[in-house]
Structure 1
Amino acid sequence: MTQVDLAGIPSPILLQGNQRIAYRDPAAIYHDGVFRLFYTLTETESDGQIFMYTAMSQSEDLVHWSEPKRLTPRDRSLNYSSPGNIIRFQGKWVMCLQTYPRPGGEKYGNQSSRIWIMESHDLCQWTDPKLLRLKGEEVPVEDMGRMIDPYLIESKDEPGKWFCFYKQNGVSLSVSYDLEHWSFYGNEHAGENVCILTIENQYIMLHSPENGIGIMRSTDIKHWTHDETLLTLGQQDWEWARGRITAGFVLDCRHVSGIAKFLMFFHGSGPEDEQLIFDTHACIGIAWSDDLKQWQWPKL
């Protein structure tokens, strides 16, 4: 197994976008000595048509990454994207993700954007996505409302009880015991692309307002307090992220030999504002921390 050396990472950029490609919305997992990074791959084709995919790259050292492997179909009416996280459930890996339909060339996903899951035995081959009826079986799919940016987390107080967070009316959440039958559970004021850790009997949520990454805390997963902290990392020095830093995903690697820290994966857009270059140039970056407060990153 390759020994990871954070000091040897040559750049804060892990995957670099360009005028044709954008890398967004990272989610990561470390298993059997391999880091697997899942993300939205946005591609502008030669005729100007734009397609979005959920894709994956992997690395053993956080330096050398495999070429993107597309996991979802080429279909603008679906645009499977924004993988939230990967959990272990009943002997399988489960990944949550969204659809982001832009069938007529819309800039953003339309009102039929919904939340889905895919399953895998090896983290490489995945089943076809399955829709989550997050408002309950009694609510018609067309009445569920626009839902994006999911994240799954198990209750710290009741093993086997799962929550799905998603962007709708701030951040909403639903609850399930089998990942099939869901009930709406509430909502809270927050940004998008939430990531939630359970640390010392507390839930810590990272979320993305208009720029930067905010932090919220809860003991019961329903009532949250907002930290004053807004993480912008090295944005003031990064032309590639000058427009926006967002979608922070934290992977707890305190148990990983040679790392022993929290790793944050995020995406940055720049130098223009993300609203101007939504489908191009976005890059996935990396930073790390001992305490989720003070962060470091590779120096260019």
Structure 2
Amino acid sequence: MAVLRLDEISSPILLQGNSRIAYRDPAAMHHEGVFRLFYTLTETEPDGSIYMYTATSESKDLLTWSEPRKLTPRDRSLNYSSPGNVIRYQNRWVMCLQTYPRPDGEKYGSRDSRIWTMTSEDLVNWAEPELLLLKGPEVPAEQMGRMIDPYLIKDNKDSGKWWCFYKQNGVSLSYSYDLENWTYYGNERAGENVCILQIDNEYVMFHSPENGIGVMRSSDLKSWTHQNRLLTLGQQEWEWAKGRITAGFVLDCKQVEGIGKFLMFFHGSGPEDEQVIFDTHACIGIAWSDDLIEWHWPKSN
């Protein structure tokens, strides 16, 4: 079994983009000694066409990561991407993700962007994605509106109840008792790429406004209090993230031997703003914390 030592990580960059590739929107998990990153892999092909995939890499020590493995098809009319998280449900793994259609080379995903899930028995082989009717069965899929960046979390006060958070009118909320039949609840003022941790009897939400990572807290997943502090980590010193730091995903590794902390995975774009280099150069980075307030990271780069 690999010995984990955060002080051996020499760079805050785990996956480094370039002029052809961007790594964005990380989601992470730790299972049976393996860290798995799921993320948006954006590739620019030789003719300049751009395709987005949900992809994955694995590591046992956070130092070396396997080459990206694509989990979704090459199809610009779908562009499955932005995996939110992976949960355990009825003896299977369930990942939530989005489609981000750019069929004619558009810069951003069209109004047809929607939320999906796909399932796995082993975290390696994944079934075909299934669309979530997050507005309820009475609202046709084509009328649900543009929705991206999902996250699934179980309600600790209502057994069997699951919530899906997603970017629409701030962050919108829908709930389900079977992950198939959904009821729309409402929306809350927040940024994109929501990630939520349950800490004791409180929920802590990380979300991404225009730049940086915001924090919100709630006792019931419905009413949220905005915290004043905006996390920008080492952005002032990081050329690779000068344009934007975003999509913070926090993984509770307090009980993982050799870690004992919260790990944050995020992506940074730079030195130009994401509006300039949306499809290239983005990197996935790492930081860590003991208390979700003070954050630390490798000091190079």
TM over 0.5: yes
For 1:119 and 1:38, how far apart are their aligned partners in 2?
14
In the TM superposition, what is the alpha-carbon distance from 1:159 to its structure 2 partner? 2.4
2:23 is matched with: 23
2:205 is matched with: 205
After superposition, residues 1-300 of structure 1 pair within 5 angstroms as 1-300=1-300
Give the SS at the match of 1:296.
coil
For 2:31 and 2:159, how far apart are their aligned partners in 1?
22
Residues 131-165 of structure 1: per-residue CA shift (max 9 Å, x gap): 00000011011100000000000001112100000
Which runs of 5 or more structure 2 residues have no equivalent in the other structure? Answer: none
For 2:299 and 2:60, how far apart are their aligned partners in 1?
21
Give the SS at the match of 1:142.
helix
Which residue type is aligned with residue 143 of structure 2?
D
Residues 30-82 of structure 1: per-residue CA shift (max 9 Å, x gap): 00000000000000000000000000000000010000000000000000000
For 1:145 and 1:23, how far apart are their aligned partners in 2?
26
Which residue type is aligned with residue 131 of structure 1?
L
Give the SS at the match of 2:227.
strand
For 2:243 and 2:156, how far apart are their aligned partners in 1?
36
Give me the CA root mean square deviation. Answer: 0.4
In the TM superposition, what is the alpha-carbon distance from 1:200 to its structure 2 partner? 1.6
For 1:159 and 1:198, how far apart are their aligned partners in 2?
15
For 1:59 and 1:160, how far apart are their aligned partners in 2?
32
For 2:121 and 2:205, how far apart are their aligned partners in 1?
28
Which runs of 5 or more structure 1 residues have no equivalent in the other structure? Answer: none
For 1:71 and 1:272, how far apart are their aligned partners in 2?
29
Q: TM-score, normalised by structure 1?
A: 1.00
Which residue type is aligned with residue 46 of structure 1?
P
Residues 92-150 of structure 1: per-residue CA shift (max 9 Å, x gap): 00000000000010000000000000000111110000000000011011100000000
For 1:2 and 1:160, how far apart are their aligned partners in 2?
36
Give the SS at the match of 1:230.
coil
Which residue type is aligned with residue 239 of structure 2?
E
Which residue type is aligned with residue 184 of structure 1?
Y
For 1:3 and 1:27, how far apart are their aligned partners in 2?
22
Give the SS at the match of 2:178.
coil
Count of residue correspondences? 300
For 1:248 and 1:156, how far apart are their aligned partners in 2?
23
Which residue type is aligned with residue 221 of structure 1?
L
In the TM superposition, what is the alpha-carbon distance from 1:205 to its structure 2 partner? 0.3
In the TM superposition, what is the alpha-carbon distance from 1:3 to its structure 2 partner? 1.1
In the TM superposition, what is the alpha-carbon distance from 1:286 to its structure 2 partner? 0.1
